[in-house]
Amino acid sequence: MSEEKAADARLGEALRELWAAIRVQHPDLPEASPVVAGPKARTGGFLLGSLTARHRENPLREGAEATLVALLHEAAHLTAERLGEQDTSNRGHFHNQIFRRHAESLGLAVAEDDPTKRGGGRRGWARLTLPPATAQRYATPVRDLEAALQTYPAPAQDTPPPRGYVKIWCQCRTLRAAPSEAARGGVFCTHCEHYLTADGPVSAD
């Protein structure tokens, strides 16, 4: 087995173990588990097997705990689907009180998006964080995932932008921008809620 395939296997197994640990706590969730797949894996992304991957951000870039948050986020949507409840609107961008209830039941701390604050948007109850108790509950599979990430090949270098432009990026995308635009502090991404800057993603918090 090549080094790349071995790294894929380790990462895939760690993701499956994390999803299995979530299902131990919440057995009504489907058995389909996260898998590493193809080019998305090379850029730090993940797929959710037969589940619906709704997230454009690549949580693996941010580490194991961010990936746990993303999986619990997905689990909240899956719970609403199983119960026949509508937990989002505006093409899935706005997260309502139904989503909030399910996300909290899965162990996430949920705050409402505030469009009046810098970097705020109109995504409803979509600001998710991991409370210490939830982090402790999944400490072992999260630690195993972090170890797998440490041995995972770094993403390939992007092609340099054309002359006269600079590369700016966030958690989920890379763009080219005029130097004057990049110097103004970056462009806000409504998907991952970070600013695209020439130094990488900057949190809106």
Residue range of the domain that includes 178: 166-203
CB contact set of 22 (below 8 Å; sequence gap of 6+): 29, 71, 72, 75, 106, 138
- Count CB atoms within 10 A of the CB of residue 136: 10
- DSSP H helices, the chain, are 3-25, 38-42, 64-82, 97-105, 132-137, 139-150, 179-183
Q: Is 28 a domain residue?
A: yes
What number of CA atoms fall less than 13 Å from residue 142's CA on the CB side?
A: 21
Based on the fold, state whether residues 140 and 174 are members of the same structural domain: no
As a whole number of angstroms, the distance between CA 22 and CA 138 comes to 8
| Residue spans of alpha helices (H) in 3-117 | 3-25, 38-42, 64-82, 97-105
pLDDT at 36: 56
Cβ-based neighbours of 158, under 8 Å, separated by 6 or more: 167, 174
Could you give the number of structural domains in the chain? 2
Local structure of residue 171 (DSSP, 8 states) = S
pLDDT score, position 84: 95
Question: Looking at per-residue confidence, does 67 or 182 come out higher?
Answer: 67
pLDDT digit string, tens, across residues 9-47: 888 888 889 999 999 999 999 886 666 544 343 333 344
* 33 and 91 co-located in one domain: yes
- Domain contains 183: yes
Same domain assignment for residues 107 and 21: yes
Do 125 and 54 fall into the same domain?
Answer: yes
pLDDT at 58 over 90: no
Instruction: Indicate the average pLDDT of the chain.
Output: 76
Residues 79 and 172 in one domain: no
171-185 confidence digits (pLDDT tens) = 666 777 776 666 666
Q: Do 65 and 109 fall within a single domain? A: yes
Q: Are 64 and 146 in contact (CB under 8 A)?
A: yes
Contact between 186 and 168 under an 8 Å Cβ cutoff? The reply is: yes
- Beta bridge partners of residue 187, listed in sequence order: 196
Query: Which residue, among 122, 148, 190, 140, has the nearest Cα to 46 in the 3D structure?
Result: 148
Banded pLDDT at 6 (limits 50, 70, 90): confident
Looking at the structure, tell me whether residues 8 and 101 fall in a common domain.
Answer: yes
Same domain, 107 and 197: no
Same domain, 145 and 175: no
Domain ends where: 124, 150, 176?
150
* Same domain, yes or no: 41 and 80: yes
Question: Is residue 84 assigned to a domain?
Answer: yes
Q: Would 160 be classed as within a structural domain?
A: no
Q: What is the pLDDT of residues 119-156, one digit of tens each?
A: 456 788 888 999 999 999 999 999 999 998 887 765 44
Q: Quick one: 21 and 95 in the same domain?
A: yes
| CA atoms within 13 Å, Cβ hemisphere of 112 | 7
Torsions phi, psi of 82, nearest 5?
Answer: -60, -35
